[in-house]
A and B are shown apart, each in its own frame.
Chain A
């Protein structure tokens, strides 16, 4: 190396990884940033989490592509940090490591019957329709009429919307072909979105709620009593919560216009929120190993606003259904025993992105803050981490005095272990093929669905 480069390694190529890289590259002329990714393809949840009918949200890929193609940035796909190479080895090779591998695990509902066929996590369901290779065997059974979604955040609304969207709308998106075929055969026509607390505590946001309200071919079905006291509380709410609650109230309680009444009469699919309900058991028909319903405990609220708590009343009710999707949150997993991990909060313990008790280790994105927030949130979090890292370089807290071997060392280790990284231009071959295949059917892309197939294209 001719120049005294600072070498930084980023683990994970989703928004957290790329925004951290972007900030580092811009702020410092002498930083080399290497981004490692387990899959052959980059972009994390932008590719595998954002709904197929939200293509504008994916525009951020253009920004990330610029970053990846920066002369001081390199992408190494198909490298599993924790298995193919350890964090210790990365620390030998780089001045600093930024862990931004997100949250690939599930939060368990923790009730009996959770493992019955017909019960899926939203994370897996979304991964399935978005082409995540590890979720392609899910083959969800969509032959029932009623689906219950546990959780009322944006992921829950995405799942509801994909289940109930007219097929014509989905046909022009990058949803996978197998998912499209399964949805074409789907008999699901009623989706209940269940939450422990009330309308003023939903975690979803107004854009997604408006999409449900306006979803062609569907009509809303809410319980008016769930909205007692809500209208009175409106005036004290901050703007975002107020606008969201107003829309819910209008949808649930207001007499629809004649035109809307006509539209609802013709609608063959139903969706609705069910509030103040916690799952206590997922039920099967006796002698039949499949979900047949959910037993829900009835709650009341203590306190108000964001901090309100759901308290059991003792009542229960059973809701028959053939599909249960739990959308109660993702969860980060530890990938290397040498990295501190808080298993209660499921994050890497840190302050401003600096990992506790681990010099040279940083984290950004959901691994740092927990699995909530949209791309913009992750962006700010990543910029924060990059700033912490740069401050540490300035102050000498991060020792960059001696040159580090960087990717040269890691590449030869990987070669010895028979691991062949996928470069960014290899990914572009995959990207190109997916785009061309998509053109045939009027889709932005036709995703390649297995790691083996991705690697074949990358090497070809």
Chain B
């Protein structure tokens, strides 16, 4: 599933190449002034030291393809952002992300069971996660469209966010993202029903 999701993302990249007109105002990298695309920053010189981002003019959704992540010097320890996913059974899955990574696609890369039905375009709530208290306030405020989609998510909490809108920065190191137990087959206290 994660492999196919990652493959799908890179395929999606190719398919969308000739059809997309990007809206830079929606991109968190643009809002964080971390966008290195010449399209968004015509005066800016090419500088790829801090952020490994893809050419933003290729698509509107906030995603980084797996192919893209491997394309630059990927072993720089300063860029590593440690993330812990807590899956629906309560299991902790620590992963190493990088600054600029989109958390939904990071989850897919590591086989975490987080759907992204609309592929990071703020048209669903299937990537709903709970953010650790220590990091929740470090995230930029959700835009109205994210709040609108969050309203649809079952078991909404104060610390709910959509994973597809979370882009890793160094101060999010140690962030823990818990997948809500949304389905009735999972007992809230983690009890696993014995087969009968």
Q: How large is the interface on A (under 10, 10 to 19, 20 to 34, 35 or more residues)?
A: 20 to 34
Least CB distance, B186 to chain A, in whole angstroms: 9
**Taking the complex as formed, is A177 at the interface, i.e. its CB lies under 8 A from any CB of chain B?**
no
Can you name 18 A-B residue pairings with CB atoms under 8 Å? Answer: A54-B123, A57-B124, A59-B119, A60-B117, A62-B8, A205-B151, A206-B148, A207-B148, A243-B148, A243-B151, A352-B185, A374-B152, A376-B117, A376-B124, A376-B153, A380-B182, A380-B183, A383-B183
A63 CA to B12 CA in the complex, in Å? 11
Against A, the Cβ 8 Å flags (1 = close, 0 = not) of B128-161 are 0000000000000000110111011110100000
- A352-B195 contact, Cβ under 8 Å, with A210-B148, A243-B147: no
Least CB distance, A399 to chain B, in whole angstroms: 15
> Is there contact, CB below 8 Å, between B152 and A387?
no
- Closest-by-CB residue of B relative to A444 is B19
> Is there contact, CB below 8 Å, between A379 and B115?
yes
> Is there contact, CB below 8 Å, between B118 and A387?
no
Q: Which of A59, A205, A352, A391 has the most CB of B within 10 A?
A: A59
> Is there contact, CB below 8 Å, between B119 and A384?
no
> Is there contact, CB below 8 Å, between A66 and B152?
no
> Is there contact, CB below 8 Å, between A376 and B121?
no
Against B, the Cβ 8 Å flags (1 = close, 0 = not) of A381-401 are 001100110010011010000
**Taking the complex as formed, is A314 at the interface, i.e. its CB lies under 8 A from any CB of chain B?**
no
- Closest-by-CB residue of B relative to A15 is B117
- Which of A22, A375, A391 is within 8 Å of B124, CB to CB? A375
**Taking the complex as formed, is B184 at the interface, i.e. its CB lies under 8 A from any CB of chain A?**
yes
* Residues from chain A with Cβ under 8 Å of B1 in the complex: 22, 26
**Taking the complex as formed, is A239 at the interface, i.e. its CB lies under 8 A from any CB of chain B?**
yes
Against B, the Cβ 8 Å flags (1 = close, 0 = not) of A38-61 are 000000000000000010110110
- Closest-by-CB residue of A relative to B160 is A239
- A66-B151 contact, Cβ under 8 Å, with A56-B123, A57-B118: no
A375 CA to B152 CA in the complex, in Å? 11
- Which of A62, A206, A388 is within 8 Å of B151, CB to CB? A206
Least CB distance, A139 to chain B, in whole angstroms: 31
Against A, the Cβ 8 Å flags (1 = close, 0 = not) of B168-189 are 0000000000000011110000
Within 8 A of A (CB), among B1-33: 1, 4, 8, 12
**Taking the complex as formed, is A244 at the interface, i.e. its CB lies under 8 A from any CB of chain B?**
yes
- A240-B195 contact, Cβ under 8 Å, with A56-B118, A59-B123: no
Give the total number of A-B pairs whose CB atoms are below 8 A apart: 80
Within 8 A of A (CB), among B60-99: none
* Residues from chain A with Cβ under 8 Å of B184 in the complex: 352, 384
Interface majority SS (helix, strand, loop, mixed), chain B: loop
Least CB distance, B153 to chain A, in whole angstroms: 8
A244 CA to B149 CA in the complex, in Å? 12
- A56-B195 contact, Cβ under 8 Å, with A243-B147, A380-B154: no
Least CB distance, A32 to chain B, in whole angstroms: 18
Within 8 A of B (CB), among A183-214: 205-207, 210
> Is there contact, CB below 8 Å, between A59 and B151?
no
- A388-B185 contact, Cβ under 8 Å, with A26-B1, A375-B117, A376-B117: yes
> Is there contact, CB below 8 Å, between A56 and B121?
yes
* Residues from chain A with Cβ under 8 Å of B151 in the complex: 205-206, 239-240, 243-244
* Residues from chain A with Cβ under 8 Å of B144 in the complex: 210
- A59-B121 contact, Cβ under 8 Å, with A240-B151, A244-B151, A384-B184: yes
- A387-B185 contact, Cβ under 8 Å, with A57-B123, A59-B117, A59-B121: yes
- Closest-by-CB residue of A relative to B144 is A210
* Residues from chain A with Cβ under 8 Å of B196 in the complex: 395, 397
- A384-B118 contact, Cβ under 8 Å, with A26-B1, A206-B151, A240-B152: no
- A207-B149 contact, Cβ under 8 Å, with A56-B121, A57-B123, A59-B121: yes
- A374-B124 contact, Cβ under 8 Å, with A244-B151, A379-B115, A391-B195: yes
* Residues from chain B with Cβ under 8 Å of A22 in the complex: 1
Least CB distance, A180 to chain B, in whole angstroms: 20
- Closest-by-CB residue of B relative to A386 is B185
Least CB distance, B49 to chain A, in whole angstroms: 33
* Residues from chain B with Cβ under 8 Å of A388 in the complex: 185
Within 8 A of B (CB), among A19-38: 22, 26
Least CB distance, A306 to chain B, in whole angstroms: 15
A397 CA to B196 CA in the complex, in Å? 8
**Taking the complex as formed, is B165 at the interface, i.e. its CB lies under 8 A from any CB of chain A?**
no
> Is there contact, CB below 8 Å, between B183 and A384?
yes
- Closest-by-CB residue of B relative to A57 is B123
* Residues from chain B with Cβ under 8 Å of A56 in the complex: 118-119, 121-123
A321 CA to B1 CA in the complex, in Å? 51
- A62-B195 contact, Cβ under 8 Å, with A207-B149, A352-B184, A352-B185: no
**Taking the complex as formed, is B102 at the interface, i.e. its CB lies under 8 A from any CB of chain A?**
no
A56 CA to B148 CA in the complex, in Å? 15
> Is there contact, CB below 8 Å, between B185 and A379?
no
Least CB distance, A434 to chain B, in whole angstroms: 15
- Closest-by-CB residue of B relative to A208 is B148
A49 CA to B11 CA in the complex, in Å? 26
- A379-B117 contact, Cβ under 8 Å, with A54-B123, A384-B184: yes
A54 CA to B122 CA in the complex, in Å? 11
Against B, the Cβ 8 Å flags (1 = close, 0 = not) of A56-97 are 110110110010000000000000000000000000000000
A244 CA to B1 CA in the complex, in Å? 35
> Is there contact, CB below 8 Å, between A62 and B119?
yes
> Is there contact, CB below 8 Å, between A66 and B148?
no
> Is there contact, CB below 8 Å, between A376 and B195?
no
* Residues from chain B with Cβ under 8 Å of A379 in the complex: 115, 117, 126
- Which of A60, A66, A394 is within 8 Å of B118, CB to CB? A60
